[in-house]
Structure 1
Amino acid sequence: MNIHPLPPSALKGEGMTSQRARDRLAATLKESGIQDARVIDVIRNLPRHHFIDQALHSRAYENTALPIGHGQTISQPWVVARMTEALLEFGMPQKVLEIGTGSGYQAAVLSALVPQVYTVERIEELLRQARRRFRQLGITNLRSRYDDGKLGWPDEGPFDAVILTAAGDAIPHAILDQMTPAGVLVAPVGSPSSQTLIRMRGDGQGDFVQEELGPVSFVPLLGGIG
């Protein structure tokens, strides 16, 4: 299948997808407590409407989650910004693993900030669409894999940082085992009715220090492939 780059007009957007709409979103994120200017700038410049169905383009720069099919969503921009900010707060990771590619938006945000991104998705059709978007945007420092996200990506570990975009009762041990001793992990944890965003930081000796970053709402972390 031929992949055609997006024309400049598609990147720039118009009306509800224009730069003015993106600037308003960036301002909302800053007012809502996001402090990392690098993260805000990436979200301001990345065409979020490119990651959702055209019928929803008019809502692309609202600070809300939106459906992407297969029972999945593209996360609220504030949540994407907060998770990314939390991942980068203590230094720039060189190699990041994402579990749950979804639309590809979170991975694209990360790719603009860190040297290498690896992302795993269990729903083949979502990954196919995300890969097309990555190619159209010219993203070259990102690798993707169709597999059970609970297994991580052992062949490419260890990773300096890990981000999960779906919530389970606990972080799978296989993923923790693929982190560097001083690695950072950001993920939602809990049941569908009560989830908390957590950050785990390796102490360099094999143990992790965990902190809670606030309530969130994500789709469930499922095993297998679909």
Structure 2
Amino acid sequence: MIQVLVADDEAMVRAGVRAILATDGGVEVVAEAADGHQAVELVRVHRPHVALLDIRMPGLDGLAAADEIAVVAPATRVIMLTTFGQDDYIARALGGGAAGFLLKASDPREVISAVHAVAGGAAFLSPTVAHRVIRRYRDVGVSATQARQRVDTLTERERDVLALLGAGHSNAEIAHTLYIVEGTVKAHVSSILDKLGARNRVQAAVLAYEAGLT
């Protein structure tokens, strides 16, 4: 059972997200928070697998809350769920280690898919956000040639893992596909991030895309 915390300052939004997640028998909302401080404290208490955080909340906003959650409960994976899809929000969220970024206008099925993907060790971006991330990397000069040069530093097995990571597979799915244990996948992913100079799986996935692996 995937345990989830939902944080949003609007009660109706929290109720809507809870209703969406309730349609999946493998997901359980274990706590709700109305602000960032409360979200951090409830994550500390419940240690959910996933925290769904709104960006604009009173007191401590979702981005700052995500930073604190990374310290107090590093095993909890964060998905930003927000009305606001500005590039600076996306960059800060992903740069801070968020594993997913969804817009509130997303299809409800995307919310469920994102929770499963992130809980399984993968990353998940709504299509609109994914296009912006790719464009942003192109804008800062990460060309296809540069991406291939970085990927060339990987071992053959690491390239196999990166290709599956870039296609959105979780650690468990990668392990099953490559007939290796999940702990080995985690070790490969750590090495891949280090060699590519990527801060998280999303950045690695973008480089995989630019290098033509996916």
Q: TM-score, normalised by structure 2?
A: 0.32
Which has the larger helix fraction?
A: 2
Q: Please identify which structure carries the higher strand content.
A: 1
TM-score, normalisation: structure 1? 0.31
